[in-house]
Chains A and B, each alone.
Chain A
Amino acid sequence: MDDSTDTWEPHLLDEDEFIREVQSFAFWFEAIEGYLGDRPYGYDEDVAEAELDDGEKDRLVTILCNYCVGETAALEASSGLVRLASNNPSQIFMATQVADEARHVEVFRRRLTALGVDDVDAEIARRSNPELRDFRKRLLSFVDAGQWELAVFAQNVLLETMEDTVFRFHQSVADPITAQILTGVVADERRHLGFGENDLGRRLVRDPQRRRELAEVRAELDPLILGSFEASYRDLGLKPDQYPQLGRSYLEAVERLGIDG
């Protein structure tokens, strides 16, 4: 391709070439280099720690414990999905998602340590939301059963879209270091939720009958994930009438996929 001309643009790629490009390791590597190259732990190390009072720190620790559960679920599930992928670009993409999720777990756990948590695992076990832990078990059961569509829906559409909404809001009100960490995570989530919706969308065009099965899974998992993210908003100090439009992006996605009925 000749990208040196003044008329050239990515929208001119043919569709197969587009998929090969955006689901390649090279695309992922160059993309994350752009926003993480100088932030090995997700934030600029010259940024000073903000003064948080005991209550603010306690709520932030609880929120980060829940983020760790969600990200660990995605790390474990996406690593299993590498083996289930039906084609090479999807397999490469899922491998890049494994790396993203591992990084998310690492930076959130490091942040917990920086906030004074000595035993991170114990704190996560003590503080994390039981609905989110149930969601993790169910997601991993889909992976263990080899159910690609159900796992991609639960992970890349449901979990990732809800995380994206909560992380964006949290980023807007967080202390500077947490906000920078979340900015990098949100950039990664864009790839994950987009992959999920587009992969499922293409599959549902070929096999519309799968919508019923996905709708059943949705009915089972919606309460778990909505409940756990509502809890995050409470931990962020919001009252119900102040919640940002939790679930709106997710509802738009399931409507586009035709599993909103």
Chain B
Amino acid sequence: MTEDLDTITAPSADLATDTTPRRTYELEETGFLEVPKKWRKFYRHWQGAGDTLAPNEVICPVCKVVIRSRRELRPGDRVYCMPCMSRLVVVRRPDGTLEADVLY
């Protein structure tokens, strides 16, 4: 069973503050080979100093791979890190950046 794009956002009132339409992204292959072919475009390697995250990307705190989505990410969104099998939720840090917390 799969879910539609709206249901992957956690239904928390304090998280659902931004109702503006989300930007969407066309994902291309990034040379990431560590998952089966059909999933590869949803992940990429962090390139270190000089690399930046796009609004549709967060870093997995467990394995440091960059997780990508077809849409702009917002706090409360659920994402999966397939390379390390982690389930994550997007959060906004006090400095305004988006990060991911592990959901056990």
Contact = CB atoms under 8 A, between A and B. Distances in A.
Q: Do A and B bind each other?
A: yes
Interface of A: 1-3, 6-15, 17-19, 21-23, 26-27, 30-31, 34-35, 187, 190-191, 193-195, 197-198, 201-202, 204-205, 252-253, 256
A-B pairs, 6 with minimum CB distance: A194-B84, A201-B104, A34-B33, A30-B36, A190-B63, A194-B85
B2 interface: yes
- Residue among A13, A22, A195 with the highest chain B CB neighbour number at 10 A: A22
Interface residues of B, number: 35
A22 B37 CA distance: 13
B4 A31 contact: no
Contacts of B84: 190-191, 193-195, 198
B82 interface: yes
B87 A198 contact: yes
B34 A35 contact: yes
A210 to B, nearest CB: 13
A27 B35 contact: yes
Interface of A is mostly: helix
A30 B78 CA distance: 25
Interface of B: 1-5, 8, 26, 33-40, 42, 61-63, 65, 69-70, 77-87, 102, 104
Contacts of A202: 104
B80 A18 contact: yes
A14 B35 CA distance: 18
A205 B84 CA distance: 19
B85 A11 contact: no
B61 A194 contact: no
B63 A18 contact: no
Contacts of B42: 9-11
A70 to B, nearest CB: 19
B1 A204 contact: no
Contacts of B70: 6-7, 9
B65 to A, nearest CB: 7
B82 A10 contact: yes
A200 to B, nearest CB: 8
B3 A12 contact: yes
- Residue among A26, A187, A190, A256 with the highest chain B CB neighbour number at 10 A: A190
A204 to B, nearest CB: 7
A119 B84 CA distance: 36
A17 B3 CA distance: 11
B15 to A, nearest CB: 16
Contact of A11 (B34, B62, B78, B83): B78
Contacts of B102: 197-198, 201, 256
B63 A193 contact: yes
A208 to B, nearest CB: 11
